[in-house]
Amino acid sequence: MRSVCVIGLGLIGGSVLRAAAAAGRTVWGATGSAADSDAAAADGYTVAAVADALKRAADEDALVVLAVPLPAVDQVLRQVADVAPHCLLTDVVSVKGPVADAVARHAPEARFAGGHPMAGTSASGWSASSTDLFRGAAWVVVADDDTEVAAWRAAADLAIDCGAHVVPVTADEHDAAVARISHLPHVLAAVLASCGADGGPLALALAAGSFGDGTRVMGSRPELVLAMCEGNRPALLGAVDDALGKLGAARGALASTGSLGATIRAGHSGRARLAELRAAGTTRVIVDLTDRDVIDELQSVGAQGGRVVAFEGDLAIAEIPAD
């Protein structure tokens, strides 16, 4: 089993380190945060300086996992280029296009496949990390037309070892999708929380389930939300425009006809579609990773809402929702 070097030991990086170790991998980490470094060392994990951790990764052909916030990616990549230029490399940052651009710019020799585990909590830091954070979660591993299959496989193996299933998609498809189902929810939650607070103490005293649910993610640290949303600016603009159009249409219908029927029924259908997809049976698909058009096949799995759940030799075992 390939060793794993994790740079950044917050909630996600820390959980990767723990889960990979629990799966029997040799692991070590590095972080710029003294608090996270001390806490990880106190829990018995090997923590080194970033350059030393990367040097060891090069020596042992380990998989390097970038688990720092997007604004810190460039700096770590320059160290990768210095110390471990040809390493197997993935990341767990919440946008994939900008990270791919940064890798192409700073560490173009790295054997890179971007990643994004769709798991988290409103807490942060090593102290919030856990071995089980990714159990049952979706974990995107980017399959772009120029992705090296061995790099994709190395990142996907880690995701499976952490208890997740792997969703193979292009970086652009990923960024458009998460704009809709992760970043837009944060923007709408912020708008809702502001509108509620503007109603004064009476409005907040009456707030019950719908307001609590709709604003929950605003309990997260603003810096983390901002790094995530602002890092996906082009795709998020499209999603916000879609929401503005739909909200404006709801406004117009309510004002002119008194009806919100189209808005509420479409919302109900959308939520039902989510439940249906989760309850749907699946069709099993086998992707041979030695095929010439393996990237196309992987992209097709992801575009259909499917996922890779296991590997057997060079075969990826995928499940696709049945209609």
Verify binding: residue 42, a second copy, rule CB under 8 A: no
**Which residue from 49, 104, 247, 315 is in contact with a second copy, where contact means CB under 8 A?**
247
3-state helix, strand, coil in the chain (%, to 5): 55, 15, 30
The CA angle 208-211-214, to the nearest 5 degrees, is: 140
With CB under 8 A, what is the number of residues at the site for a second copy? 99
Using CB under 8 A, which of the segments 72-80, 98-106, 124-132, 195-203 binds a second copy?
Answer: 195-203
Nearer to a second copy, 24 or 222 (CB): 222
Asked whether position 269 contacts a second copy by CB under 8 A, the answer is yes
Q: Could you tell me the CA-to-CA distances from 140 to 117, 151, 168, 258 in Å, in that order?
A: 6, 14, 6, 42
Nearest one of 285, 323, 305, 291 to 169, comparing CA atoms: 305
Near a second copy in 64-103, by CB under 8 A: none
**Nearer to a second copy by C-beta: 51 or 217?**
217
Q: Which stretch binds a second copy (CB under 8 A): 47-55, 63-71, 144-152, 172-180?
A: 172-180
281 is a site residue for a second copy (CB under 8 A): no
Interactions with a second copy, residue window 101-120 (CB under 8 A): 118-120
What residues contact 47, with CB distance under 8 A and at least 6 apart? 9, 28, 29, 30, 31, 37, 40, 41
Stretch that binds a second copy, among 4-12, 33-41, 153-161, 302-310 (CB under 8 A): 302-310
Task: Find the binder of a second copy among 61, 101, 148, 213 (CB under 8 A).
Answer: 213
d(CA 152, CA 169): 11
| Stretch of 8-16, 35-43, 155-163, 263-271 lying at the interface with a second copy (CB under 8 A) | 263-271
Query: Residue 151 Cβ, how far from a second copy at the closest point, in Å?
Result: 21
Residues 123-162 that bind a second copy (CB under 8 A): 137-138, 140
CA distances from 221 to 42, 182, 211, 228, 283 (A): 25, 15, 19, 11, 40
Candidates 10, 40, 215, 294; binder of a second copy (CB under 8 A) is 215
How far, in Å, are 21, 30, 131 from residue 27 at the CA level?
A: 6, 11, 13
* Cα-Cα end-to-end distance for the chain: 37
Closer to a second copy at the Cβ: 3 or 282? Answer: 282
Strand partners, 320: 283
Paired with 10 in beta bridges are none
Which helix (H) or strand (E) segment holds residue 136: the answer is none
Among 38, 248, 288, 293, binds a second copy (CB under 8 A): 248
How many alpha carbons fall within 13 Å on the CB side of residue 226?
4
User: Does 201 contact a second copy by CB under 8 A?
Assistant: yes
Q: Is 285 in the site for a second copy (CB under 8 A)?
A: no
Q: Which is nearer to a second copy, 75 or 269 (CB)?
A: 269
Looking at 123, 274, 310, 315, which residue binds a second copy (CB under 8 A)? 274
Which residue from 104, 123, 150, 244 is in contact with a second copy, where contact means CB under 8 A? 244
Residue 16 near residue 65 (C-beta atoms within 8 A): yes
Stretch in the footprint of a second copy (CB under 8 A) among 48-56, 124-132, 151-159, 240-248 = 240-248
